[in-house]
Structure 1
Amino acid sequence: MKFSLDTFNLDLGETPIENLFLDLMMPTADGEAVKVYLYLYRQVLKNDNNYEFDEDDISKDLGMSLDDFKKALEYWLEVGIISRELVVETGKYNYKFISIRELQLGSKQFYEYNRNEEKFLNKNNNIEMFEKIEDILELPLTNTNIMDILDLQKTTNVSSDLIVKAFEYSKKKTGKMNFNYVFGIIRNWYLDGIRTVEDYYNLLDSEKTKKANIRKKRKYYKPKSGDENKLDIDFKENSEELEYIKNYLAQRNKDE
């Protein structure tokens, strides 16, 4: 049995696929995954490397359920030849096909997919937190930055507002934005029982009160005018005793 290519009298275009994909990746993937990869690859080339896709529309075009489409796409993310980057402003991902040739040559790295990533993302809460942090940093957060922040939040169970406060505190105190320093601040607050911004301000108020009490204790007692008069009266009433003490001390000095 043999195959051959027919000659083409009319060229309607072709979609170039890397041989390494056909030789190495395709044989180990199921049919749904291959179908999704080839379809998306074709659409990216067709739309000048700027294809905005809708999952529902694609799943209908390919005759598969939305869940099957997501599983197929997730398969290539796990293989590492498709990468994705979270766009903080929209809460959506941008995807990219990675050159398998360059992966084999070692000039690029396979994408490291974290399947738990989406479980941490809360569009109504965390996206706002990330936007505030980016405003403080004056730089966009990377996927690694986002996952590190979310992992720390999951471990410490601190509020999103407190994380933003830590970045503000770090910038105000040091003028620098070192993530390890900020994470250290959050861990110290966590050990002090601080979980929210309200806890943070309550602790500040408590510290101010303690310092004020210490300052009060360090002040010397100053008698009131009434007390001073009372002391004068006491001394006058006991003038004979005072005279006796003076004479006693004078005599002892002579004896010595």
Structure 2
Amino acid sequence: MIIMNFEMQELKLDMGTTPFENMFLNTYLQMADGDAIKVYLLIYKEIYNNNTVDEGKIKRQLNFDDQRFLDAVNFWINMGIFREKKNADGKTYIEIVSLRQMYFGESDQTPSNEINFDKAQRKSMMFENIERIIARNLTPADITRIHETLGEYDQDPELVTEAFRQAREAGNVDVKYVMGYLKSWRDMGITSLNDLRMKEERDKLKKVTGVRTYRRKSDPQMPSDGMSITEKARRKRLQRLNKTEN
């Protein structure tokens, strides 16, 4: 195997630089063909530096006809990287989606920047954990669906990660299917991982205390009320959990 070392040449004259999000490079270079990559890079450069795009200039630069250019644009629309929108005049335009903002979500208007930063960090970790669980990169459509569900159900990012973990054990990590877990938990009033753990503990205790107990008449260890000391302890623990929740 040949190992190559690379170094960046020191610039003597700055002719301009266009920064690209690492999330885009890491996720989409491997799945897009050459035409799509070329069109994306040139459109991004134009909009970043000039705030406008000259389609004719790009077509001439790449020697693309109208259909070839349109196919490349439609690829990114289908991937969710380009988003068709309408302005106040009703004219259609294409918005280039920021993957970084999709991961962190729209900035909330709250008094504390620390709250926003903490939430963004937790969301970023959530998406990393999800991709590790499902062993693939999330698409923009996946990320949008997860963000919308989080916002609608007002649930913690850690609960979303747990939903994907349980879905993987069930053998189905389709995002739409996993959102069903979150809906079920929302209907039960579960908005955090702690809420879920408390419910699981209560269910476990109910299952144990619900088992019928048989004993002999001469058993001196069994109190007259028919419950063993262990069963009484479990019942008290369940009562404490219920009080804590209320």
Q: TM-score, normalized by length of structure 1?
A: 0.45
Query: Which has the larger Rg?
Result: 1
